[in-house]
């Protein structure tokens, strides 16, 4: 199953941009993707014809806006194999993870019905050494607030997770296991089932960072059997400012609210308030209506391409990218684990040249890549680096763009007079 990348590119006018007199080769989609016309039009059409406050008005326009908002929820939920009422709108994935972490923190002092997931001193939270800061710092903070202990599954010298240590790291004291589905630095796919199986043995909940998997792979959260998952719209062809938190029905029901105010209550007196069931319990205040509608349009766009075809495209570009990087003298691919499953993303270092200089050299040629630690300082430190350069793809990326990037990179050491 395939799709025409040439046809896809016609939906993204920004790809016709020139940078420094060169056609833009946008290889920074893991940071944020470009947006197709259909998505931009969906947001514009909402403001032109359906703009109103959702879940609070009795007039016709408010009802239409609410229907569109909830239809968007249903569309996005189905895309990741979830029920409508298991999807909470957030501003991004970071907010989703923090929502879970703060709810777990609040559980200890919440009414009795919310205390089943409360953490206590000596309980353990387990992450991996691969994690984006957004799936690390909230758990560090939760450990500090509750007296829990933060542990992690390390990686080896090649960046591969030490799966042989999962059982001993996730002990009987573990209450939370948080793991990324795809590394935002290495592009490698985590065997989530290994972590879920061990978490089930010890009674821990599993939180999945699916930011880099949902845009590129078919994802069924029910099949993965994780308790919570997060992803961001802007990485999957949708606007910024919209993301989602998935939670199993019983897990969301067990969490106390974190942000309180309008639209998430049933009854309020001067002394107390009663809260709506999920997902509205976690959606206080004015919501991101146009962005949610645009995210649903992005989902329909990806569905029309076919997620198996999207995954094939991503895998093919990933292999082309890594094979090409391996062939360039002085270039080290991070997480180069042979045939390990990966998406179209790779980070690398160039011997003797700082990542920022590599990025500037490529930008001068119209090639956009990411440089820095990619919000993963611990992983970079483990691999002996401060920063790296990352190239990443999406559905609009061509083989020719990968080849152009590789050809340009092959000249970077000569340009800087390194290794001559």
In this structure, what DSSP letter does residue 170 have? S
pLDDT in tens, 275-319: 999 999 999 999 999 999 999 999 999 999 999 999 999 999 999
Does one domain contain both 297 and 311? no
The residue to which tokens 């998952």 are assigned = 229
In this structure, what DSSP letter does residue 90 have? E
Q: Band of the pLDDT at 419, cuts 50, 70, 90?
A: confident
- Is residue 320 domain-resident? yes
Does one domain contain both 174 and 220? yes
Predicted local confidence at residue 367, as pLDDT:
99
In this structure, what DSSP letter does residue 189 have? B
Tokens for 125?
């939270």
Q: Band of the pLDDT at 338, cuts 50, 70, 90?
A: confident
Does one domain contain both 265 and 401? no
Alpha-carbon span 184 to 98, nearest angstrom: 19
pLDDT in tens, 40-86: 999 999 999 999 999 887 899 999 999 999 999 999 999 999 999 99
Alpha-carbon span 324 to 319, nearest angstrom: 8
- Is residue 36 domain-resident? no
Say if residue 2's pLDDT is above 90.
Answer: no
pLDDT in tens, 159-207: 999 999 999 999 999 999 999 999 999 999 999 999 999 999 999 999 9
User: How large is the C-alpha radius of gyration of the chain?
Assistant: 22
Q: Residue 320 belongs to what domain range? A: 5-30+306-416
Q: Which of 269, 303, 337 is the C-terminal boundary of a domain?
A: 303
Does one domain contain both 349 and 218? no
Tokens for 169?
């790291």
> How many independent structural domains does the chain possess?
2
CA distances from 248 to 228, 230, 299 (A): 7, 12, 21
Residue 211 a catalytic site member: no
CATH code at position 324: 3.90.1150.10
| Sequence-ordered list of residues with C-beta below 8 angstroms from that of 71, at least 6 positions apart, any chain | 296
Q: Which of 258, 283, 303 is the C-terminal boundary of a domain?
A: 303
Q: Are strands 228-232 and 243-247 parallel, antiparallel or unpaired?
A: antiparallel
Does one domain contain both 52 and 20? no
Q: Which of 303, 329, 355 is the C-terminal boundary of a domain?
A: 303
Predicted local confidence at residue 420, as pLDDT:
60
Query: Which of these, 217, 151, 145, 229, lies nearest to 188 by C-alpha position?
Result: 217
The residue to which tokens 């440089």 are assigned = 371
Confirm if 229 and 210 have CB atoms less than 8 A apart. Answer: yes
Provide the 10 A C-beta neighbour count for residue 112. Answer: 6
- Is residue 37 domain-resident? no
pLDDT in tens, 21-31: 999 999 999 99
Does one domain contain both 101 and 222? yes
Does one domain contain both 242 and 378? no
Q: Is the pTM of this model over 0.75?
A: yes
Paired with 88 in beta bridges are 245
Alpha-carbon span 101 to 146, nearest angstrom: 11
Does one domain contain both 290 and 316? no
Alpha helices in 241-374 (DSSP H): 249-254, 289-305, 307-326, 355-364
Active-site hit among 276, 309, 375, 418: 375
Q: Band of the pLDDT at 142, cuts 50, 70, 90?
A: very high
pLDDT in tens, 227-274: 999 999 999 999 999 999 999 999 999 999 999 999 999 999 999 999
Q: Band of the pLDDT at 370, cuts 50, 70, 90?
A: very high
Find the length of the chain. Answer: 420
Q: What is the mean pLDDT of the chain?
A: 97
Query: Which of these, 359, 357, 336, lies nearest to 418 by C-alpha position?
Result: 357
Say if residue 147's pLDDT is above 90.
Answer: yes
Alpha-carbon span 317 to 339, nearest angstrom: 14
Question: Burial of 300 by CB count in 10 Å (0-12 exposed, 13-18 middle, 19+ buried)?
Answer: middle
Respond yes or no on whether the N-terminal peptide bond of residue 279 is cis (omega within 30° of 0).
yes
Does one domain contain both 276 and 313? no
């Amino acid at each position: 199953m395939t799709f025409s990348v040439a046809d896809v590119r016609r939906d993204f006018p920004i790809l016709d941009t020139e940078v420094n007199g060169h056609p833009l080769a946008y290889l920074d989609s893991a940071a944020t993707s470009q947006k197709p016309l259909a998505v931009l039009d969906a947001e514009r059409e909402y403001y032109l014809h359906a703009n109103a406050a959702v879940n609070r008005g009795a007039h016709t326009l408010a009802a239409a806006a609410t229907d569109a908002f909830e239809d968007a929820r249903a569309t996005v939920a189905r895309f990741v194999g979830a029920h409508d009422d298991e999807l909470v709108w957030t501003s991004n994935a970071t907010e989703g993870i923090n929502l879970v972490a703060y709810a777990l923190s609040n559980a200890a002092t919440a009414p009795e019905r919310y205390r089943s997931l409360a953490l206590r001193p000596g309980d353990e939270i387990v992450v991996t050494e691969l994690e984006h800061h957004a799936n690390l710092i909230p758990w560090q903070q939760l450990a500090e607030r509750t007296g829990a202990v933060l542990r992690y599954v390390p990686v080896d010298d090649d960046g591969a997770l030490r799966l042989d240590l999962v059982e001993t790291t996730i002990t009987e004291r573990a209450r939370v296991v948080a793991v990324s589905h795809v590394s935002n630095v290495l592009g490698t796919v985590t065997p989530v089932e290994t972590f879920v199986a061990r978490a089930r043995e010890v009674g821990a909940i599993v939180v999945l960072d699916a930011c880099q998997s949902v845009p590129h792979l078919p994802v069924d959260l029910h099949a993965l059997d994780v308790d919570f998952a997060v992803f961001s719209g802007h990485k999957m062809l949708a606007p910024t400012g919209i993301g989602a938190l998935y939670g199993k029905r019983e897990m969301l029901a067990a969490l106390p609210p974190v942000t309180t105010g309008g639209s998430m209550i049933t009854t309020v007196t001067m002394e107390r308030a009663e809260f709506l069931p999920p997902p509205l319990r976690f959606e206080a205040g004015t919501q991101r209506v146009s962005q949610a509608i645009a995210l649903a349009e992005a989902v329909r766009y990806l569905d029309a391409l076919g997620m198996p075809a999207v995954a094939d495209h991503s895998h093919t570009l990933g292999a082309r990218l890594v094979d090409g990087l391996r062939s360039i003298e002085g270039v080290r691919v991070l997480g180069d684990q042979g045939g390990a499953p990966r998406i179209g993303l790779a980070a690398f270092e160039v011997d003797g040249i700082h990542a920022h200089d590599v990025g500037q050299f490529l930008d001068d040629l119209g090639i956009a890549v990411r440089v820095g630690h990619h919000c993963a300082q611990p992983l970079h430190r483990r691999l002996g680096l401060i920063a790296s350069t990352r190239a990443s793809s999406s559905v609009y990326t061509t083989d020719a763009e990968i080849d152009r990037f590789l050809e340009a990179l092959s000249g970077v050491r000569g340009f800087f007079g390194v290794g001559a």
